Structures are given as structure tokens and as C-alpha cells.
Amino acid sequence: MSFFKQAVDMALSLSENSNQSYIQDIPLEVISEKTRSLPMTLPTKRVENGFNISDSVRKEPMIINITVVDNSRDYLLNRDKLMKLQELGEEVQFVFSNRDTYEHMIIENIEEMETGEQKFGFTYYITLRQIQVGEIKETDVKMDSKKAKTSGGKKKRTTAKVSTPTSAEKSKVNKVVKQEIDKSMWKYADQAADGMLR
């Protein structure tokens, strides 16, 4: 666990308001609405009867939309911090009501709304998208060297040597060439005779 995450968790546990929500260390005063979407991508083309459709279904990143009303004393500072986090494009942690924690979130969109009734504060529509994080794990695999068949190692390239044709090969080639010449001669002779007769 990183030091920053520990500090955020500690600050959350010491918070007087047990229903406080946060993006990173930025308190979100009131979340009036939160929706969570878990989309899947499905094939749009026809599939064969009996085709295993689950092979083509892919889970997409989770999307959270929240509506935040900030009328706190630090509403301008909070707005600047949120904008900076979005601009940096770094992953953030979203804590909803000290109940649900969402890791690996990116602030995809912040829509800010000001009204005449809300002179000192802002209302935000924030879209958070979870990024999919992969992890590389190294494992040692023991193999019996006698049983293991591998194609690894250095590979040698071999090329065929071209040798001079033997007398038998030469006579076969000459025979085929002579037959082709004879066929061509007869063809041209027929065409010439047809031309003279007409």
C-alpha cells in the first residue's frame, strides 16, 4: 500500500462525518446522485448456430456518474484540485460515503453548472471511468530436460546447392523443348495455309 493511499485512508477514518465522499483527498460535500454502469461489448454481426457467444463478449471498464453539490468554504479550491486531477490524467481513488471504495479511476469528464440560487458554490456532473490494470507475474517452471522437446536455440539456415545438370537431365529438357518447337511450327504452318487459301 502506498504512503499516499495510507494517508488518505487514515484521513477518512478520522473524519467526523462518516458519510463523507472523496476523490483522492478532495472532499465532495454532497453527492446528490450516483450511478454505476458495468457495460459489456457484444458482437453485432450474425453468429453461427451453436457458436459459443461468450467467446465474443468483452467486459468494458466500469463508469460512475456522480452529481456533486459543493457549497463548502473551499469550493473554489476543490474545483481547482478536481480540474488539476483531470488534467494530469492520473488514476484516482473514489470513496463513496465511506462505504464503497473504487480504485484505478480516471476523471473522464467534469461538467460544471452555476445557478443564480447557488452564489457561493458549484454543482458538478463528474464521470469517472475505471481503467483495467494488468499485472505480470513471474513463475518458475521446472521441466525435465530429457522429455522437453524444444525448437529453441540457434537455428541453421540451409540452402540447396545448384549443380550442373547431368546428361540424362539435359536430354529430357532437349526432348521437351523439341516437342514444343514442333507443335509451334505445325500451328504456324496451319495458320499460314489457311491464310493462303482464303
pLDDT tens by residue, 52-71: 877 788 889 999 999 999 88
Euclidean distance between CA atoms 28 and 38, whole angstroms = 23
Give the residue among 89, 91, 88 at the shortest CA–CA distance from 133. 91
Contact 40, 59 (CB under 8 A): yes
Residues near 85 by Cβ (< 8 Å), separated by ≥ 6?
23, 24, 26, 92, 107
SS3 11: helix
Q: What is the pLDDT of residue 71?
A: 87
pLDDT value at residue 105? 93
Contact 32, 96 (CB under 8 A): no
Closest by Cα among 122, 91, 102 to 35? 102
pLDDT of residue 53: 79
Residues lower than pLDDT 50 in the chain: none
- pLDDT score recorded for residue 62: 93
Give me the pLDDT at residue 136, please: 79
Cα separation of 68 and 123, whole Å? 6
Considering only CA atoms, which of 111, 114, 115, 108 is closest in space to residue 124? 111
